Amino acid sequence: MQPVHFDQALRNIYNRDQRFRPEAFEFLKQALDYTVTDHEKNNAISGQHVTASQLLSGFRDLALKEFGPMAATLFEEWGITSCEDIGDMVFMLIDEGMFGKQDSDSRDDFQNIYDFQEVFVEPFLPKSAKIAR
């Protein structure tokens, strides 16, 4: 059996489920690479396995670094509105053989790690809008 390439995996996923744009998966892959590279520097990942929490932190950090105040807008356009969405995407890629998984890994690991509004919107609101909340 020939290995599936990332582009083909995205086509397979999109044929089954159109919730997330291909750009979302591309960014998720970049976020995984960023997370692994960042954690390798700090020796924080054992055996190259990235936990949901580590991946979500890397996803957040890379998004803020790359997109700043536009991150929330882009993610909404791509269909991503929560950490749970990222978990769904991860497991879609696992099903396609693009990401690995340990037996203990679960979609539940991606629940309530952070709130997109608090992370990607509120830091960029004017002070007057923050006071009104």
pLDDT score of 129: 66
For residue 98, which of 39, 16, 23, 26 has the smallest C-alpha distance? Answer: 26
Range(s) of the domain holding residue 110: 23-122
Domain membership flag for residue 101: yes
Q: Is residue 30 part of a domain?
A: yes
pLDDT score of 100: 87
CA 21 to mean position of chain CA atoms: 13
∠ at Cα 92 (88, 98), nearest 5°?
Answer: 130
pLDDT of residue 42 exceeding 70, the answer is no
Instruction: Classify 107 as helix, strand or coil.
Output: helix
**Where does 5-108 have alpha helices with state H?**
6-16, 22-41, 52-67, 71-78, 83-95
Say if 11 falls within a structural domain.
no
Asked if residue 132 belongs to a domain, the reply is no
Residue 8 lies in a domain: no
Quick check: is 14 in a domain? no
Number of domains in the chain: 1
pLDDT at 128: 78
Report which of residues 46 and 50 the model is more confident about: 50
